[in-house]
Chain A
Amino acid sequence: MALFKTRAIVLKSINLSETDKLTTFYTESFGKVKCVAKAARRIKSRFGAALEPLSFINLIYFGKENQELYRLNHCDIIASFQSVRENLEKLYTAVYFLELMDVTVREGDRQTQLFQFFLSALHCVERQGRLETLIRVFELRLLALLGYSPSLGQCVVCRKEPMNGWIGFSCFKGGIVCPICIDQNPQEIRFQKGTLNYLKKLLSSDLKILERLKFPRTVEEELEYITHRMILSHVGRELKSYPFIKLMAEIDAPILEDAKNGQTGN
């Protein structure tokens, strides 16, 4: 038996029995980990709000190394992202990030860099007003960190630099394709060359300055199409939480109008 101590973000918690919970964490030191939390469903549980999805916690668990299920020993909250929980568009953006982490990262994959990126993305959800760009960057950079960075410099087939006009993008081949090499395959996306520069910017910009990036509306739509298609192609299906972001953005809108008249922020 070994005792493991690390910082972690709660991805999801499901009820295992009348009293116990099964919680999935993304940890700083050990990647994705699943733990059984005994008696966590009791209202006086010592784990309290720490096992709610999205909580950023100090975690201690134990078990044999490389086993599938560990036993939760202790957790305490570092940050609960309360303001995210109170804004539905922010909340479901964060839930989408949690779901993406859960379905794309395999257990045993250890990457401190990915943890840092994930945590700062959640902080950005909390602080930033425009979530659209953040979602695009999260999709693109998560795939890059997992080793699926798209090739944007030259055509993935003939290795030539793209000319002006339109270019293609193939999720399957993992990058851009020139008009000569493009398959007449409906899977392949076409967009204006100008969009490519925005895509490169998304791949390299610091998360903290995202809010300062301005994209024309048409480019924004193209970017959503491209990055989300990459996710769909990687995961093989739509993510359950994704449609909720737009649904909730509509509900949140009138409240945001009110906030503008009142105090600043948000």
Chain B
Amino acid sequence: MKRPAALQELIAELQKLPGIGQKTAERLSFYLLRGTKERAQRLARAVEGLKEKIVLCSQCHGIADKDPCDICSDPNRNAAQICVVEEPHDVYVFESLGEYKGLYHVLMGVISPLDGVGPQDLTVDHLKSKVEENPAREIILATNPDMEGESTAVYIARVLKPLGAKVTRIARGLPVGGDIEYADPVTLKKSLEGRGPA
């Protein structure tokens, strides 16, 4: 027997999401069907709001409720530090620490030749103009420590240093809870280079 069209449509849409297969999509759909109308509507509104209410901050390229975002418009944040990250969600990773008090700049990706992404596809020019406005800022490069993230960091440092900016890179090394015996030589070397006072 064929399922009702509305149910079939929901299953098909859910299945397009990452990590959700046929079985999970069916289970979630039947779960929503069994629940109250209000619950289903809340979910529908939340999904809709995602595209309608969220904007990109024109200053940091992060996602926000308003432009400029809460971080960029907060006078208590330290404007002398800019933490450069790959994606909007990286901002929340750093913010969840509650430690960092500076501003952010989201690159919207990394330089990746095989994906056809070059520096001109990122927000590097905007970052450059921020440094030109105020060269005394510290630019903290917090891209991932993989080949693409590393090369993007090298690229940005090359572009910003001639402007007189202080460019720093987040330390790379051993993960907390890791074991020196099992660390690979590259990570171990980086952790020695990036050591700090004990």
Residues of A within 8 A of B (CB): 12, 17-18, 43-44, 46-50, 52-54, 76-77, 80, 82, 85-88, 91-92, 95, 99, 240-241, 243-244, 247-248, 251-252, 254-255
Cβ A44 vs Cβ B175 within 8 A: yes
| Complex interface: chain B residues within 8 A of A244 (CB) | 111, 113, 118
B133 located at the interface, meaning its Cβ lies under 8 Å from any Cβ of chain A in the complex: no
Cβ A254 vs Cβ B162 within 8 A: yes
| Complex interface: chain A residues within 8 A of B18 (CB) | 18
Chain B: interface residue total (CB-CB under 8 A): 28
How far is B162's CA from A46's CA once the two chains are assembled, in angstroms?
A: 39
Minimum distance in angstroms from B185 CB to a CB of chain A: 6
Cβ A82 vs Cβ B186 within 8 A: yes
Residue of A nearest to B157 (CB): A255
| Complex interface: chain B residues within 8 A of A85 (CB) | 147, 150-151, 154
Interface of B, secondary structure class, is helix
Contact of A43 among B116, B175, B182 (CB under 8 A): B175
B7 located at the interface, meaning its Cβ lies under 8 Å from any Cβ of chain A in the complex: no
Residue of A nearest to B150 (CB): A85
B192 located at the interface, meaning its Cβ lies under 8 Å from any Cβ of chain A in the complex: no
- Chain B, residues 4-40, CB within 8 Å of chain A (1/0): the string is 0000000000000011000000000000000000000
B52 located at the interface, meaning its Cβ lies under 8 Å from any Cβ of chain A in the complex: no
Contact of B155 among A18, A240, A248 (CB under 8 A): A248
B187 located at the interface, meaning its Cβ lies under 8 Å from any Cβ of chain A in the complex: yes
| Complex interface: chain B residues within 8 A of A247 (CB) | 118-119
Contact of B177 among A44, A48, A54, A87 (CB under 8 A): A44
Cβ A241 vs Cβ B185 within 8 A: no
Cβ A95 vs Cβ B186 within 8 A: no
Cβ A52 vs Cβ B187 within 8 A: no
